[in-house]
Structure 1
């Protein structure tokens, strides 16, 4: 694999998976993952994530918070200047300790990525059908070119495109069609985990909705795990089961997606949520509110809680004391000293 570099409601209760043997590892477990560029610039700082088969995890945050770096790190697709530490356990096997041959076998077949920006990820001088067939030929020694091309046509039909579009070049397709090709390619080797990095970037609202519903349906039909990355909390709340919010390379809040969107416990999560309008919210006609300032430069992070220079409720201690994730009620955790203080409607919209 290569890469060119709103609705709220009651949270559905998850029924236990009785078919899964006790003691089986989760599909993906990330433990204390750190990514550092050039030996000094931390892009991801101690991230912990977990995804079960059939589960959809959303990762949200502004540009520059480390979302895409985290996604690429999961399959070691970062440049050689990046140093990775921690553990990335895919079906219990650590991706960071895999030999090159094993890692090559895991990419596409164990986990695959729908890269951000389909036009830049597809090869402009090759037909899309050939690009979908390539990983099939690489990972299945018994596959013939003819069989791989037939499978490419089937995959295109699976994502809502005619099989005949396999003969098209990327520039002959619309943005939504190219994104469907990327999803078909991600499904080519029947992976157990799909990582979708901003899968609806630069698409209009109607096409975005179609792509999101397509991804949801494919995840449900094939019982694969999904990590969806976006800056849009409303999209993630409507699509995913759980949500992790990142800021300055760290996860600062996590929990059931709709709960995090509706009542975030970390001030940054509340600010992101307040930036999106609530359609049909007759009780509150507030306009969306922006968050002043910009995410910090990873090479010059502020002391204490990295969000405190932008935080509307920061205490004096926040400038000197960093905050780890702590229990925030139910299945939720947040990295804030005020996490024990119930969030009011006013505080949720302060930012």
Structure 2
């Protein structure tokens, strides 16, 4: 039995905004699942739905099976217990999630007191151990959040998430607004904790490269649906869905001149959840859309070993590369995925012309300076 099994999950906010539409996901203990997509594609809504943290008036459907128990049908007392002991969440923006007037040790100890029925002294001791576990001295337990750096506050949030030994950790952009050095430290810390404690991890991020480096599998969301899912490295390096490929191409690659001189992007924005287009929701922005895409929605279908993608091109292309169907477009206006970048041509040898004046060496400056 899987640690987490999400089946046909739907989330509709008050007013009719369809934020999550028929999502299916599965996660085993000790494994890491990344979820990527633009802002407004339903990633954070999905994370909140897993622990029933959505605002009042929100309608949900489907099933969220945590260790075989449906979170959506639990009584509230059971939900409160599951939120710490069964699954916990690390929110983005630790400064906004921590209480500024309470010491961090007290905030870590609070769920231990409530869910583990420990003594105050035992809870404080456990809080100090958790701080050391995430790389902070136990003495920092007496600090207030404003006395810590951004990376240290994020470590405190991770310590809180581990306070009651949950089986599942949900990290919603845990490295947002951190510099690259601290980001790397936090990601390595999360990976080590997952390996040591055999917990499941769901990590949400805009950065496919980070998810490909950290997670085992990757799901790409668009307009409330998963449009591609598979091994993280394969989805990042050779995406099958045009949207997933556009996300991957938006990041420059070290050593690839084409990504430097011809930056790629995707025009437009995700659709308004109050007015989703007919057919495939991505077709208004898709560079390889067919006429049928405007009227026929696309469900996830096999796209290789252990992979799924919601694109009609996947069924047509037996070679496994949807870029074969992309129309040729030339010129500087082509900035979307699969942009044509002309290869540099070798020039014929020419007689050397007059040498352009260049920067002089320090020794030349000294010889010519009176």
Residues 36 and 220, structure 2, Cα contact 8 Å, conserved in 1: yes
Q: How does 1:66-145 map to 2 (within 5 A)?
A: 66-141=42-117, 143-145=118-120
Three-state SS of the structure 2 residue aligned to 1:200 is: coil
Cα distance in 2 for partners of 1:29, 1:76 equals: 15
Cα distance in 1 for partners of 2:155, 2:272 equals: 34
Three-state SS of the structure 1 residue aligned to 2:314 is: coil
Q: In structure 2, what is the equivalent of residue 349 of structure 1?
A: 337
Superposed CA RMSD in Å reads: 1.5
TM-score (norm 1): 0.90
Residues 254 and 332, structure 1, Cα contact 8 Å, conserved in 2: yes
Q: In structure 2, what is the equivalent of residue 56 of structure 1?
A: 32
TM-score (norm 2): 0.86
Cα offsets for 1:8-32 (capped at 9, x unmatched) = xxxxxxxxxxxxxxxxx10000000
Change (3 A) 1:284 1:171: closer
Cα offsets for 1:243-277 (capped at 9, x unmatched) = 00000000000000000000000000000000011
Residues 277 and 287, structure 1, Cα contact 8 Å, conserved in 2: no
Range that drifts further, 173-182 or 341-350: 341-350
How far is 1:38 from its partner?
A: 1.1
Query: Which of 132, 148, 156 in structure 1 is aligned with 2:123?
Result: 148
How far is 1:350 from its partner?
A: 2.1
How far is 1:282 from its partner?
A: 7.1
How far is 1:39 from its partner?
A: 5.1
Query: Which of 190, 197, 215 in structure 1 is aligned with 2:172?
Result: 197
Cα offsets for 1:281-307 (capped at 9, x unmatched) = 479766441111001110011111000
Aligned length: 326
Cα distance in 2 for partners of 1:74, 1:310 equals: 30
Q: How does 1:1-351 map to 2 (within 5 A)?
A: 25-38=1-14, 40-141=16-117, 143-281=118-256, 287-340=262-315, 341=317, 342-343=320-321, 349-350=337-338
Three-state SS of the structure 2 residue aligned to 1:191 is: coil
Cα distance in 1 for partners of 2:257, 2:14 equals: 51
Gaps of 5+ in 1: 1-24
Cα offsets for 1:116-149 (capped at 9, x unmatched) = 11111111111111000000001012x1011101
Three-state SS of the structure 1 residue aligned to 2:312 is: coil
Structure 1 segments (4+ residues) deviating >3 Å: 280-288, 344-349
Cα distance in 1 for partners of 2:90, 2:17 equals: 26
Cα distance in 1 for partners of 2:209, 2:259 equals: 17
Change (3 A) 1:140 1:243: same
Residues 247 and 295, structure 1, Cα contact 8 Å, conserved in 2: yes
Q: Of the two, which has the highest radius of gyration?
A: 2
Gaps of 5+ in 2: 327-335, 340-370
Cα distance in 1 for partners of 2:107, 2:38 equals: 31
How far is 1:349 from its partner?
A: 3.4
